[in-house]
């Protein structure tokens, strides 16, 4: 409790300091566009540009400058600076990124996009963060909309939307080179070249190679990611194309049973490993136009193809997506947004689970009970923005979305109001519904894993099979939010949100260890079900204070609790409540951005993490994580504007083997040196 008081006091202290320094001439002369989070614009809330201060929703913009100054090496890591967004490592290349609870590795309740192009997996609806890479210096900002936004974005935008916006090609002219080296032969190399024609067309081509150890505890094997792409654009259209290839060595153990008497016999191990690659390519076309009437039209078309050899989601997947949006300015006070979209997905899973030898299973594997599938998602939506008075405005929206996979049509409405009490104070409130797109991992995948136990010096094992379920209702959430914004001057601002959400038909896997099959007594069966509901509530705070032009401080704090309840069911037993619930979660961060002089920069990030899990009914390890602080720091030097920049980055200073997630992967100290030059 004492720690929580310190964190909250630190957040509020920035407001006290700001009020005491309002009269500083240099602060008042700085533009809001340079300093303010609330008076910059974003596109994610309505697909067209809006001021943050005019949006009645929980929104946040993380600038590209802050990403670079954080010392983050990946996009996923940078998102830990956003209030309410949870980040932890499964290993050095696989991450958990989620919002407002349910922190599992296959998180499917948050839509993630790059320049408006969804990077979701068509298999489970989430993001494989290890394959999402980009030159960080070319990211303009990351726009985050927390809470349901299904009325605009549809399926999977249940707990939030993340839109990674890259810089216009006109702002990335010339050559950029960057190289980073760290412990355990970790490195990345980036190159980008910009072009421009006399006709106003700008372009850039880029390549990035990243090499990381899989695990710090045995760092002889590495994960290699190569990313390349090109952007060509002018004021009204853009074309993007590129791809990513990942290569690594995957370790697994084959477990062999005696087929004549498989029950309770000691298991025999055979160590196995293999090299595997995952590759993806994409192409995207976007067009926008402002008509003479002031109305705006935008359309986009993108296609991508993934070839995945991993044990997690093997197969080949192709996605085609097209959407059209029209913003009609009906009057000075009323705007109407209309839109429609269509997504087609074709999947080839490669192999059938019946081809697997259940007497010699891999220690982990995911298979499918169909060879492939194809389906579509179609949607239409409408949203009305009305300015009732100079102080009061409203947003009403509704999306209808049809999922061919389960044959259901879902409605996602929202209603929001914003009131400007004074130029410094504003408040907003809203309610909205979001849904999660149906998943082939739930309806058609069989997950296989082996549990091992040592008895009397011998190893015994049971093979668990999580069976799919084709009769699942669509997962949904209703969320109620209120928010407050305070900006007394250009040097200080505070944004606060409180929310309550009720989730229905949450996916879970419960095991029935008493159910066996003759001649397959070594198998135990679990069943995918939708027999859980959950209530979550929390608060999210964000503030910024600029001491002067050289030093700014950004602070965030979030509190969350999730209470999951079993609703009964033939394929469940209530055991998953402990894995879906979260008695408490406190997260906080303070980031300083400090220009000591023209040549020197020194930045810090202090994070606090306190997560309490329920008592684990299986092995009592989930509730053993200790509250802790971590410190990251970055020192940068550039002799002059024409010189290269040298950075020294240290992560988790003074920490030793911190555990900050239920995956129980230790986060050790890491050190990097980065050299970059733009000319």
Domains in the chain (CATH in brackets) are 35-678 (2.40.170.20)
pTM, two decimal places: 0.90
Instruction: Tell me which DSSP letter residue 11 carries.
Output: H
Residues in the chain, pLDDT under 70:
1-39, 46, 217-220, 250-254, 261-273, 452-460, 616-624, 662-664
Q: Cα separations (Å) of 623 from 49, 80, 106, 510, 585?
A: 44, 22, 21, 20, 12
94: burial class by Cβ within 10 Å (0-12, 13-18, 19+)? middle
Question: What's the confidence (pLDDT) of residue 5?
Answer: 42
Question: What's the confidence (pLDDT) of residue 459?
Answer: 64
d(CA 103, CA 82): 16
- Do residues 461 and 453 lie in contact, with contact meaning Cβ atoms separated by under 8 Å? yes
d(CA 465, CA 512): 10
Q: Give which of 601, 608, 606, 602 is closest to 590, Cα–Cα.
A: 606
Question: What's the confidence (pLDDT) of residue 162?
Answer: 93
Question: What's the confidence (pLDDT) of residue 11?
Answer: 41
Q: Cα separations (Å) of 209 from 595, 647, 677?
A: 30, 19, 17
Question: What's the confidence (pLDDT) of residue 499?
Answer: 97
Strand order in the sheet with 111-114: 58-63, 139-146, 160-166, 111-114, 117-118
Question: What's the confidence (pLDDT) of residue 154?
Answer: 81
Question: What's the confidence (pLDDT) of residue 34?
Answer: 45
Question: What's the confidence (pLDDT) of residue 13?
Answer: 38
Mean pLDDT of the chain: 86
* 297-302, Cβ contacts within 8 angstroms, sequence gap of 24 or more: 297/324, 297/325, 297/326, 297/327, 298/47, 298/48, 298/324, 298/325, 298/326, 299/323, 299/324, 299/325, 300/116, 300/117, 302/117
Tokens 């010096």: give the residue. 457
- Do residues 338 and 323 lie in contact, with contact meaning Cβ atoms separated by under 8 Å? no
The length of the chain in residues reads 679
Q: Give which of 442, 439, 450 is closest to 403, Cα–Cα.
A: 439
d(CA 506, CA 511): 16
């Amino acid at each position: 409790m004492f720690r929580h008081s310190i964190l909250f006091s630190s957040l509020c202290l920035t407001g006290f300091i700001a009020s005491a320094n309002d009269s500083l001439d240099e602060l008042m002369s700085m533009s809001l566009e340079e300093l303010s989070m609330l008076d910059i614009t974003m596109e994610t809330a309505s697909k067209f540009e809006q001021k943050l201060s005019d949006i009645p929703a929980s929104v946040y913009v993380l600038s590209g400058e802050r990403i670079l100054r954080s010392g983050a090496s990946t996009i996923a890591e940078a998102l830990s600076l956003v209030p309410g967004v949870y980040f932890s490592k499964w290993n050095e290349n696989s991450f958990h990124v989620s919002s407002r609870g349910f922190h599992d590795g296959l998180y499917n309740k948050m839509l993630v996009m790059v320049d408006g192009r969804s990077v979701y997996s068509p298999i489970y609806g989430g993001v494989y963060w290890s394959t999402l890479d980009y030159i960080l210096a070319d990211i303009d900002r990351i726009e985050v909309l927390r809470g349901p936004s299904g009325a605009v974005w549809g399926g999977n935008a249940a707990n939030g939307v993340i839109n990674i916006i890259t810089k216009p090609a006109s702002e990335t002219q010339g050559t950029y080179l960057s190289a980073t080296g760290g412990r355990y032969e970790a490195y990345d190399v980036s190159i980008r070249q910009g072009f421009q024609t006399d006709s106003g067309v700008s372009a850039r081509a880029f390549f990035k190679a990243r090499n990381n150890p899989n695990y710090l505890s045995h760092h002889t094997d590495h994960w290699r990611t190569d990313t390349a792409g090109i952007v060509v654009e002018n004021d009204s259209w853009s074309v993007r194309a590129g791809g990513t290839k990942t290569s690594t060595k995957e370790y697994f153990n084959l477990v062999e049973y005696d087929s004549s008497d498989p029950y309770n016999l000691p298991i025999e191990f055979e160590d196995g490993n293999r090299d595997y690659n995952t590759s993806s390519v994409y192409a995207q076309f976007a067009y926008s136009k402002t008509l003479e009437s002031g109305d705006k039209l935008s359309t986009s078309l993108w296609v991508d193809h993934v070839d995945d050899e991993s044990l997690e989601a093997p197969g080949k997947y192709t996605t085609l997506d097209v959407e059209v949006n029209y913003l009609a300015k009906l009057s000075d006070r009323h705007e109407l947004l209309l839109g429609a979209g269509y997504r087609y997905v074709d999947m080839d899973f490669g192999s059938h689970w019946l081809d697997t030898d259940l007497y010699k299973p891999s220690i982990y594997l995911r298979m499918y009970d169909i060879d492939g599938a194809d389906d579509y998602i179609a949607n239409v939506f409408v949203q009305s923005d009305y300015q009732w008075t100079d102080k009061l405005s409203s947003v009403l929206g509704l999306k209808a979305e049809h999922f061919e996979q389960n044959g259901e049509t879902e409605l996602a409405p929202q209603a929001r109001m914003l009131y400007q009490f004074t130029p410094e104070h504003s408040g907003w409130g809203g309610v909205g519904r979001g849904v999660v797109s149906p998943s082939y991992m739930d309806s058609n995948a069989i997950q296989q894993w082996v549990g091992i136990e040592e008895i009397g010096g011998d190893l015994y094992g049971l093979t668990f099979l999580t069976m799919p379920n084709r009769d699942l209702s669509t997962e949904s959430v209703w969320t109620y939010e209120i928010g407050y914004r305070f900006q007394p001057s250009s040097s200080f601002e505070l944004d606060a949100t409180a929310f309550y959400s009720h989730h229905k038909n949450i996916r879970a896997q419960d095991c029935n260890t008493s159910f066996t099959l003759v001649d397959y007594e070594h198998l135990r069966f679990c069943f995918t079900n939708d027999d859980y509901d959950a209530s979550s509530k929390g608060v999210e705070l964000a503030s910024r204070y600029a001491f002067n032009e050289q030093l700014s401080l950004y602070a965030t704090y979030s509190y969350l609790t999730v209470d999951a309840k079993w609703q009964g069911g033939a394929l469940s037993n209530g055991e998953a409540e402990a894995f879906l619930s979260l008695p408490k979660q406190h997260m906080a961060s303070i980031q300083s951005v400090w220009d000591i002089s023209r040549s020197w920069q020194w930045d810090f990030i202090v994070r606090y993490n306190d997560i309490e899990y329920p008592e684990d009914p299986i092995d009592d390890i989930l509730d053993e994580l200790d509250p802790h602080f971590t410190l990251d720091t970055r020192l940068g030097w550039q002799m002059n504007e024409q010189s290269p920049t040298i950075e020294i980055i240290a992560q988790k200073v003074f920490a030793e083997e911190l555990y900050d997630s239920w995956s129980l992967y230790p986060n050790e100290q890491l050190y990097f040196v980065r050299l970059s030059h733009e000319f």
